[in-house]
Structure formats: structure tokens, C-alpha cells
Amino acid sequence: MSLIAPPLALYVHMPWCVKKCPYCDFNSHGLRGEPPYAAYVDTLLADLDADRMDFGSALANRPIVSVFFGGGTPSLFAPDLIARFLDGARARIPFAEQCEVTLETNPGTVEHGRFDGYLAAGINRISFGIQSFDDDKLKRLGRIHSASEAEAAVKSAQDAGIGNINLDLMYALPEQSLDGALADVTRAVTLQPTHISHYQLTLEPNTVFAAHPPPLPDDDTAWAMQEACETRLSDAGYVQYEISAYAQPGRRCEHNLNYWQFGDYLGIGAGAHGKLTDASRGDVFRRWKTRHPNAYLEAAGGPGRIGGHAAVAHAELPFEYMLNALRLIGGVPADAFPARTGLPLQHINDRLAQGRQRGWLDTDPQRLTTTPLGQRFLNDVIASFLG
């Protein structure tokens, strides 16, 4: 089977935050003095230049369909620096006409009028890390904003003319009740964002919470929260299209959809990961950048910026593909598997049959889709595709 190059996105990692949250396992670094924001933007562009040289023909005639500034806290960067990067990136790789450009934003780091600048810079989607509208829960999560500040920030972005807004919410928080989880969702939908990401707090290795676990709801209570909140979101007009993603009609996150459909993305910035299909060679590559901001800056676009680079082994491709695709509530077309992996569908026939027999996968041969039971035991479903 031959690989077909999928859509190409761009992920940009901004590594600094005001303060590291105790649950966070991302490559983020609390502020210690003033970071070299301008120098970092220049290094991002040098990184992009170097990736373009390295990947050569694999990037030819492939416009960027979405850009995502993640972190850390990208909203620590002033609008003029975001504009400098976007202008420079567009000069190097063409952007699709309807390119979605998302900026992750901490409600505690934005000032009045700043959203006008982000909009002028080319940002057309804002993703707010709200997590909760309960001030006590926000303090326990180590967040630097209050519930009222979160609401004010969302309204400020809307007033500036940014019409595509996501709110991140967590549930199963320390000592949270079912009513508390529902109250967060109710308060979120009152703000009328176009998209809500709703996911369970988990204890990740190498975090403060992992070393000193807070009292969390048990599994049955967490499941009850998920089901009740799903219903509340559905009643408010938000359609669930992925395990933790809900959107108003026509407002799904294009950048994340590209991930879940096993699309390609360049990853630039300290610790950023990327994936690229080289259809001419029949390979899928992953590349990641050196993690620490200082080392990344010192590399200045040179070889030292690369933390690792490897082709995905054919035996690992089914797991890599399903790890993403089966998160989608509607699944993916069955013929997308050979197009994105280069492997024939027959390669996974036995595992598909087992999943259908267990009631984990839908029986429609034209689609790869989890059943409601499969969604509940998604980790087991995905693990069944390990080589």
C-alpha cells in the first residue's frame, strides 16, 4: 500500500508559565525573571527554517491548515511577538485560506485590550485554561486566576471580536461533588463558547500531585460526573465528537481533529513533538525538540535543537493510528487506515474481529468506530492494537 500525505499543521510550543501547576506534566517552566521572549520567537523561526531544509520535498505543495500555540502559557507573549512569528511563518510556508490559528491563554495573564492585538496578529481562536469556576478548586489546582477573572477574560475576548473560543474544564477534582462538576459545566455554557474541552483530572508521573496525591473522587463517582456532564453539554447544544471534546455545530477544533485523524504536524519550540509523512519513501517520522528552553535557545536552529528523530516502525503503526482515531466518537473511514499508515487493512483484521466480538468496536466494516462500551474501556481497546 502507498502512503498518502495527509493535511499538515503547525504546533508551536511556548514553554514559560507564571507558576507550575501541581497536576501539570507538560514541558512548562515557571517564571524566574523576565524570559527572552523576542529571542525565543527568532529561535522558533530558525527552527522552522531548519525543519524545512531537513524535510525538503516532504513539505512541498503542502499548506499549513492550522496553527496551535501551546505551552506553558503562550499568552505571556505580547501580540506584536505573536504577529512577528506568524508573519515569518507565512513567509516560509503558505497558510491555507481558512487556516485556524489558536492561542492557549491563561485568564490570569491577559490585560484589557490585549485580545484586539491578538486578533490583529492573526489569532482567530482562543483556548482558555479555565479548569473550574470554583475558587476553592482553582486554588487547590494551583491556578493563578479566580472564577470572576475567568469570566471577565472570556467576555473580553468576545468583545474584541474573537468568535471562536474554547474553554478547558476538568472534573473529578479534589473533593469535588457531582453537583460541583455540573455547576462548572453550567457556568461554562452560560458564557456561550463555541467549544468546550472536558476531561478528568489524572495524577501524572513526576508531578506534585503524583508525589502528594490529593483526595479525589472514586472511579464510580468520576464516571457519574462524566455521564451527567455529557448530558448537560448535549442539552446546551454541544455535540461530543471526541472523548473529551464538545462543540457547537461547525465549531470542532480543526487542529486537534488533524491529530486524531493521524494527520501531520511540524513541532517547533522547546520540547515540541512533530509527525511527518514522507510519501515518496513510504515512512512516517516523529521528531521532537530538546526540552529545556535554555538549551533550545542556545541551539539557535542548529542540530542541537533536535531531541530525537525516528521513523515509526511498521509494527507500531496500528497502535499509533488507533491511539488517535478511536478517540473520535464517530470514528474514521476504514480506508483511511491504509492511506495514513501504508499498511493494508487486512493487517489488523484479527484485532478488529476481536474488538467487535467483545462489543468494543462497531460492526460496520466501512468505519472504525468504538461503541459506547468501547469508549468506556478505551485504553483496553487501544492496547489491543499493540504489536
Burial classification of residue 125, based on how many CB atoms lie within 10 Å of its CB (0-12 exposed, 13-18 middle, 19 or more buried)? buried
pTM: 0.96
Tens digit of pLDDT for each residue in 325-348? 999 999 999 999 999 999 999 999
Tens digit of pLDDT for each residue in 123-175? 999 999 999 999 999 999 999 999 999 999 999 999 999 999 999 999 999 99
Tens digit of pLDDT for each residue in 164-187? 999 999 999 999 999 999 999 999
> Is 234 strand, coil or helix?
helix
For CATH 3.20.20.70, the residue range(s) in the chain are 8-258
Mean pLDDT value of segment 18-39: 92
User: Cell digits for 168?
Assistant: 478547558
Beta bridge partners of 95: 64
Burial classification of residue 18, based on how many CB atoms lie within 10 Å of its CB (0-12 exposed, 13-18 middle, 19 or more buried)? middle
pLDDT of 1 over the 70 cut? no
pLDDT value at residue 61: 92
pLDDT value at residue 387: 73
pLDDT of 112 over the 90 cut? no
Give 253-281 as a 3 state SS string.
Answer: CHHHHHHHCCCEEEEECCCCEEEEEECCC
Q: Would you say domain 315-383 falls under CATH 1.10.10?
A: yes
Name the CATH superfamily, with its identifier, for domain 8-258.
Aldolase class I (3.20.20.70)
Mean pLDDT value of segment 86-107: 97
pLDDT of 111 over the 80 cut? no
Tens digit of pLDDT for each residue in 200-239? 999 999 999 999 999 999 999 999 999 999 999 999 999 9
Mean pLDDT value of segment 314-329: 96
Tens digit of pLDDT for each residue in 263-278? 999 999 999 999 999 9
In sequence order, what are the residues at sequence separation of 6 or more whose Cβ sits closer than 8 angstroms to the Cβ of residue 267? Answer: 11, 13, 273, 274, 275, 287, 288, 289
For CATH 1.10.10, the residue range(s) in the chain are 315-383
Mean pLDDT value of segment 71-85: 96
pLDDT of 16 over the 70 cut? yes
Please give the sequence-ordered ranges of beta strands (E in DSSP) within the chain, or none if there are none.
8-14, 16-17, 29-30, 64-71, 95-105, 125-131, 165-171, 195-200, 239-242, 245-247, 264-268, 273-278, 283-289, 306-311, 332-333, 367-368
pLDDT value at residue 146: 96
